[in-house]
């Protein structure tokens, strides 16, 4: 096996700044293509770089694939094989991943020994299982960052058939995986409470959401996107994210049919970081049945650099996933971009109806459509919700605040005095707790 890390010349990684000796040495287990501009991979990169800037030695242990145009600025990257650029990574399980996961386990064990790792910090289900096996052999404490439930997603990937078998396996994983870590961080109050109800001791759990880099949207260039796609002055409703079944794009299309009937000039832009021909083909079939095909623009893939510019075009942003125990990263992006948001209750993490979002009952496509119409027609309300959403995300979801909480979890796992003023942390996150 081969390993490539930032200090050894990974061309996508900036040089390490001079800083004090590392407080802790952390192994981040990223069982996904890395880096990437969506989901967990994006959160792992931003979290790792922030922890590195705080003085920790962060080692990201991951697969060989990733996007070459995304910089990992401070954390070191270790790969099972030489880096292989991949512009269109697949989301979800695959047969190829099983052998890669064995290689990832072997690499993780070597990194733990060579880099004198203090804590294994694993992300997602595969990362947690790999981390658990490494924990048993290295005797290092394991922190599991839980971002979802398999029972909400596994069947939607279509990898395991029939669907009832996928759902049964998913329920088993949801029960099995959280048992082994020394501590679990859940990205939403709902996810934390789900674990508590199923017997995970509350002392073993913390609610720590995903975060944002405040400067990410500072240099948006919407005119560049207008020229690229020859856009006129039409109002734009925008969705950004993958097109997998669990995202319930069918709900969005049915909601947009309500919008299009009343406001026929509105354009729906579906902006995805990944090409998914099978899912897009299915969604286009439904759009054709609903008579809205001519009002939709499908865009995939897009670069991370272009995401702020796409969002700058949006008059309204939308999330149509109702069952969402995790915290949608796209929601944080919408908030940071200062855009009006319409979403189902299940996706409205840390938001309040008519304060910083327009929130409708889960699975009610008619209400979702009417919410979009309301914000398109009431520009004053839309502007107020957008401004409040940006205030909310900057106040509560800055990675610099969130990583202080993660640092305190490391302190507890290692039996060390807490690193920062815990009163400030409780104040910043109090309203996000269940």
Q: Going residue by residue through the chain (434 aa), what tens digit of pLDDT does each one get?
A: 444 444 333 433 443 443 444 589 999 999 989 998 888 899 999 999 999 999 999 999 999 999 888 999 999 999 999 999 876 556 555 666 778 889 999 999 999 999 999 999 999 888 999 999 999 999 999 999 998 875 665 445 555 567 666 667 667 667 778 889 999 999 989 889 988 988 899 999 999 999 999 998 888 999 999 999 999 889 999 999 989 888 999 999 999 999 999 999 999 999 998 888 888 999 999 999 999 999 999 999 888 899 999 999 999 999 999 988 788 889 999 999 999 999 999 999 989 999 999 999 999 999 999 999 999 999 999 999 999 999 999 999 999 999 999 999 999 999 987 755 444 444 444 444 44
* DSSP single-letter state for residue 414: T
* DSSP single-letter state for residue 353: B
Between the CA of residue 427 and those of 192, 395, 401, what are the distances in Å? 19, 11, 11
Name the architecture of domain 214-396.
Answer: 3-Layer(aba) Sandwich (3.40)
Q: Which residues are registered as beta bridge partners of 316?
A: 237
pLDDT of residue 422: 46
Q: What predicted TM-score, i.e. pTM, was given to this entire model?
A: 0.83
Q: Are the CB atoms for 209 and 325 separated by under 8 Å?
A: no
Burial of 428 (0-12, 13-18, 19+ CB in 10 A): middle
CA-based torsion, 308, 268, 329, 283: positive or negative = negative
Domain parsing of the chain, residue ranges: 6-147+181-211+398-432, 214-396
pLDDT of residue 198: 85
* DSSP single-letter state for residue 398: B
Angle between helices 365-377 and 379-396 (to 10 degrees): 100
What is the rounded (10 degree) CA torsion for 82, 84, 90, 95?
-40
6-147+181-211+398-432 and 214-396 share one fold: yes
The third-level CATH classification (topology) of the domain covering 6-147+181-211+398-432 is: Rossmann fold (3.40.50)
The residues, ordered by sequence, that sit 6+ positions from 137 with a Cβ below 8 Å of its Cβ are 109
List helix spans (H) across 291-378. Answer: 307-313, 329-336, 365-377
Between the CA of residue 426 and those of 242, 396, 420, what are the distances in Å? 34, 11, 11
What is the rounded (10 degree) CA torsion for 173, 176, 181, 185?
50
* Sheet of 142-146, strands arranged across: 76-79, 57-62, 25-30, 119-123, 142-146, 183-186, 205-207
Tokens representing 137 are: 């052999």
């Amino acid at each position: 096996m081969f390993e490539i890390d930032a200090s050894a010349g990974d061309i996508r990684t900036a040089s390490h700044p001079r800083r004090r000796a590392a407080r802790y040495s952390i192994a981040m287990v990223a069982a996904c293509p890395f880096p990437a501009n969506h989901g967990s991979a994006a959160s792992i990169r931003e979290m790792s770089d922030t922890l590195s800037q705080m003085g920790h030695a962060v080692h990201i242990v991951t697969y060989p694939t990733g996007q070459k145009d995304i910089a990992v600025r401070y954390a070191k990257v270790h790969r099972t094989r030489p880096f292989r650029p991949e512009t269109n990574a697949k989301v979800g399980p695959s047969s190829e991943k099983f052998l890669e996961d064995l290689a990832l386990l072997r690499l993780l064990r070597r990194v733990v020994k060579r880099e004198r790792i203090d804590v294994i910090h694993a992300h997602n289900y595969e990362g947690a299982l790999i981390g658990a096996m490494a924990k048993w052999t290295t005797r290092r404490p394991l922190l599991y960052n839980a971002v979802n439930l398999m029972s909400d997603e596994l069947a939607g990937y279509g990898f395991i058939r029939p669907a009832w078998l996928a759902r049964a396996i998913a329920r088993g994983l949801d029960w099995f995986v959280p048992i082994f870590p020394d501590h679990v961080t859940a990205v939403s109050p709902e996810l934390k409470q789900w674990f508590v109800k199923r017997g995970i001791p509350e002392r073993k759990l913390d609610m720590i959401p995903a975060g944002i880099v405040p400067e990410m949207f500072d240099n948006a260039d919407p005119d560049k996107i207008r020229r690229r796609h020859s856009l006129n002055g039409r109002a734009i409703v925008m969705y950004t994210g993958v097109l997998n079944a669990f995202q319930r794009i069918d709900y969005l299309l049915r909601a947009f049919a309500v919008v299009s009937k009343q406001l026929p000039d509105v354009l729906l832009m579906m902006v995805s970081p990944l090409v998914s021909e099978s899912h897009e083909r299915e969604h286009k079939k439904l759009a054709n049945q609903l008579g809205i095909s001519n009002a939709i623009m499908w865009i995939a893939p897009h670069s991370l650099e272009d995401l702020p510019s796409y969002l700058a075009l949006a008059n309204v942003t939308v999330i149509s996933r109702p069952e969402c125990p995790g915290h949608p990263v796209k929601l944080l992006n919408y908030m940071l971009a200062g855009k009006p948001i319409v979403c189902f209750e299940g996706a409205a993490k840390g938001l309040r109806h008519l304060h910083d979002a327009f929130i409708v009952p889960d699975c009610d496509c008619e209400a979702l459509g009417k919410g979009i119409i309301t914000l398109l027609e009431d520009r004053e309300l839309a502007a107020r919700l957008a401004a409040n959403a940006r205030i909310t995300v900057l106040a509560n979801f800055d990675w610099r605040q969130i990583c202080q909480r993660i640092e305190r979890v490391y302190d507890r796992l290692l039996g060390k005095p807490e690193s920062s003023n815990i009163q400030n942390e409780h104040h910043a996150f109090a309203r996000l707790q269940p």
